Structure 1
Amino acid sequence: MWPKIVDWKELAFGVEIEFVGGDPARLACLPGWVMSLEEKQLDETGRASGSELKSPSIRWDDRQQIQTMLSRLKEQGACANWSCGLHVHVGLEPWGESILLPMLDAALSCQEAMRSLLRTSAHRLIFCPPVTQEICERFIANRCEEALLRPGRPQSQRCGINLASWFYFGTVEIRYANGTLCFKEIVNTIELCLRFVAAVGAGHKLTCDPDGLAQQLGAPVEGYPPPLSVPRWFEERVWLEELFIPILSPLIAEKVPDGEIHHLLPVPDGLLIAVEMPDGKMCKYVVCPPATGWERLRRMNG
């Protein structure tokens, strides 16, 4: 039922910690913690590295579990770099589905303030695009997960304040924070997210000014994971994708009607196109540009 006053410290939450390095397959996890080994990040050379560590549903008084897992990661040599993010899921059980529309309204008015407070790196904005008025209108007309997702590349389907996670986990996922293995930066981020959700749940009218929002919520004004600059080669990879994806999308649509281009990479014999399917699985093709146009296309294994 919305509105309803709930102590932010009593809200359940989960955290997803992306990192590079270490030995994630051998990391000893606390009960309920999960290492998503298929979720790789990029190291400084561009190679797939690290993983994503996911907590169970916990509460504020359980936050020392995060410190324990961070210590184990660091002992293995893991770290967070520019390719990593930090996602916080906050449980919406006290309000149920009735909070979804107020949360969408709050996202429209406060998402830029949240992004500014969390200092989201510019290159990570593809992973946390804004909620739009169109999304709100679609959801009012059809209250389903698909209405809350953005069209376009797979990385951009979930908004920075991602309410589609309600249909999977009963949560709102806040995706703006940069990656970090610093306990203080992580708990500051969690506190901001918990206080934000509790304030929306209580029906409070929130300001769109970043510092004013933090003060209104009683959350830290600073102390969040800092933005990190990206290597030049990664910038060039992004430019390459932006140049070629519009050209190659029709070709992929013919071969893989239900797929969407996830990323492109130059390889010795052409250009690798990674295509994400509706079930989340990835298939890869290599395309070559002969003089007559983009004609050669072969499927890659693995």
Structure 2
Amino acid sequence: MNFRNRTVVSEFLLLGMTDDPELQPLIFSLFLFMYMITFLGNLLIILVVRSDSNLHTPMYFFLTILSFNDICLSTTTVPKMLVNIQIESHSITYTGCLSQLCFFLVFSGLENCLLAVMAYDRYVAICHPLRYTIIMNPRLSVLLVLFSLLISSVHALLHSLMALRLSFCTDLEIPHFFCELAQVIKITCSDALLNNLLVYLVAGLFASTPLSGIIFSYIYIISSVLRMPSFGGKYKAFSTCGSHLSVVSLFYGTGFGVYISSAVTESVKRAPVAPVMYSVVTQMLNPFIYSLRNRDMSNALRKLVSKITCVVG
């Protein structure tokens, strides 16, 4: 290890999407638009669920938590990028970088767990409909969310504390618009073997467990739906799962796409487009998926818009 170039790190450089100054206004406008759509869309989901008593069920309780989490996840990364573009700077403090890394892991991990919890909710609703209100009671719903938050926080703190032991030399450029764990590990000049092992072991376990739960839940769901005698019952059952399946496919599809592209592409350092998909675009599209594919949400949204129109009028 070369100790001569080691320095006390006070800040990192976030290279962002491009170095071209002419494209910065376009990127700023695009990310500001996506952030506002994410914020307002998910906030609208929360307001719609809160305003309609018919949606006061565990399914929509988990949806409001997911929407709030999406707002927090986008807020962790996008505002800092927008500020840097405005002040024409690439810097982020060492403390700010590790804080951003930690919060991003917390909220992305919580989204991972929430999708598994929502799959379990759909499993109970379809496979055990008569016992649904007994099993998915308010106490269990809150406990599932709190347990998901606990697991996500422990996961994030573990990686963040391990990142504190890393030393950095002269290369302090992070080729993304936020402090991503893998990129922070790449630019260290100290031995990162333990960090890399932790990423693969813990992250693999943390990602595979909820995904396995989702897969097994839907195996039982599909099996139960296919045994239903009426077409109307099958359609109603599948329609209640359609939005969740779309969000699951989008979240895991973009996530796996990022790691596959990282494995086969050598120019990832200059191609930070992939992380945008799972850190910004997914959170922006979730409200549209749930509002357009869910009939109850669509009806509740129309009622809320009608109330607002009447009040304004």
* TM-score between the two structures when normalised by the length of structure 2: 0.23
Greater helix percent: which structure? 2
Greater strand percent: which structure? 1
* TM-score between the two structures when normalised by the length of structure 1: 0.24
Greater relative CO (CA pairs within 8 A, separation 6+): 2
Larger Rg: 2
